[in-house]
Amino acid sequence: MPRAVSLKALVQTRAGKIVLFLIALATLAASFFYLGPYFAIPTFLLAGLGLPIYLGWKVPKHLAILGIAALLLAAPIVNYGLTSEAMTPSPAVNSSTDHGNTSTGAPVLTNATATPYNGAGGSAFAFTVDLYPNRLPTNYTPYQLWVYVSTCPGATGNSSPFCGSGYPFYPVGQNVTTVSASPTPVTFHVNLPGPNIWWWQMGLLARATTFNASANKTNTTYQWIFLAVPNAYGAVQGPITGTWATTYQLLLPQTAIDILFYPGIVFFLALLVYVFLKSREARRKAQRAASDAEMIPPTTGAPPSSTGGTPPPSASPAVTGAARRAESSCPKCGAVVYPDEKNCWKCGAPLSPGAGTPLKSGGS
Ligand SMILES: [Zn+2]
């Protein structure tokens, strides 16, 4: 109990409010970076709204300022982490082995990389892969190998439902019909303009030609084998054209939009709901106190001011206090305020017992 009391006293100080703000900022930035935009919604609601309100920092205008400041400051912090992540070279990738496209259970494409991972815009980048024809399903042989390099993660065409159209897209293919040794290294050289953050995917088109003797005709079937990339895009990140600073700049707008959009909108909606509920609660409390006061029989005494003397002994101080402050509004912002609060719940203005502006009886 004393601990909670001292915590609540600390929150009323400037230092306490700064600590609460830093907790909200750190929680928002860390949860957005490590858990993603959706998980940042509940964590930011808890740390940016729930915790301050629980500890007694309840003024909606202050909470709104806390929220917008945390959202605006979190974007450059999160973007620092995202840039560092983007500048870290992606590991080599293999093709999938669990989709029934291999006879041996081993990947047909292995060790796929882009080098250098980070280079100047306009320079040539090498995309290499080790091709294992002997791991192809029975009767299949290599036909074409393609690399798709794009600024749209996972794109294998020049228009994607996730990126629209008009983004840079470089599909480069080569014939691999003569490849027979396992493994055979295959390299693509692609010039990429900068500054950009690129993504790529590689696909082997294999074919099988069978002869149907009874129908006296050949039948050719094709099968695509792509790299199995362990992320939501199904694409390998890289190369990065440009510098750390240009990459930071490229990522910042989207980072800021994502933070303002997901945790931001929900935070302000929750704050609106809080203000609505708080205002309704205050009105109900005021009405209840007013009706309680009306039910006091006249014999228990009139307010001390009307008699001019000492209050009658039968009137308890709590009852007269509630009656006197039953229906009041904040002198500063006009919100209906609680009968027993020291500060206005909405604007934080101090409420002395006589400072409240009386409302009309029965007003809602
Ligand atoms: Zn007020």
Q: What are phi and psi of 241, to 5 degrees?
A: -95, 130
CA 72–ligand 1 middle distance (angstroms) = 27
What local confidence, expressed as pLDDT, does residue 74 receive?
Answer: 97
Give the mean pLDDT per block of 10 residues along the chain (364 residues). 70 91 97 95 97 93 96 97 96 80 77 96 96 90 96 87 88 95 96 95 94 88 93 93 97 95 96 94 86 65 47 46 61 84 84 59 44
CA 334–ligand 1 middle distance (angstroms) = 6
Quote the pTM value. Answer: 0.73
What local confidence, expressed as pLDDT, does residue 27 receive?
Answer: 97
- What are the structure tokens assigned to 64, written together? 């709104």
CA 342–ligand 1 middle distance (angstroms) = 11
CA 332–ligand 1 middle distance (angstroms) = 5
Q: What's the CA gap between 285 and 3, in Å, rounded?
A: 29
CB 234 within 8 A of CB 96: no
Taking alpha carbons only, the member of 142, 134, 129 closest to residue 227 is: 129
CA 13–ligand 1 middle distance (angstroms) = 19
CA 276–ligand 1 middle distance (angstroms) = 14
CA 346–ligand 1 middle distance (angstroms) = 5
From the number of C-beta atoms within 10 Å of its C-beta (0-12, 13-18, 19+), residue 211 rates as exposed
CA 279–ligand 1 middle distance (angstroms) = 11
CA 23–ligand 1 middle distance (angstroms) = 27
What local confidence, expressed as pLDDT, does residue 90 receive?
Answer: 95
Taking the CA atoms of residue 341, residue 344, residue 350 and residue 353 in that order, the dihedral angle to the nearest 10 degrees is -50
Q: What's the CA gap between 337 and 351, in Å, rounded?
A: 9
CA 348–ligand 1 middle distance (angstroms) = 6
Rg for the chain (alpha carbons), in Å?
Answer: 34
Q: What's the CA gap between 52 and 12, in Å, rounded?
A: 10
Taking alpha carbons only, the member of 57, 69, 52 closest to residue 259 is: 69
From the number of C-beta atoms within 10 Å of its C-beta (0-12, 13-18, 19+), residue 162 rates as exposed
Q: What's the CA gap between 49 and 42, in Å, rounded?
A: 10
CA 349–ligand 1 middle distance (angstroms) = 5
What local confidence, expressed as pLDDT, does residue 150 receive?
Answer: 95
CB 31 within 8 A of CB 43: yes
What local confidence, expressed as pLDDT, does residue 161 receive?
Answer: 83
What local confidence, expressed as pLDDT, does residue 312 receive?
Answer: 47
CA 50–ligand 1 middle distance (angstroms) = 21
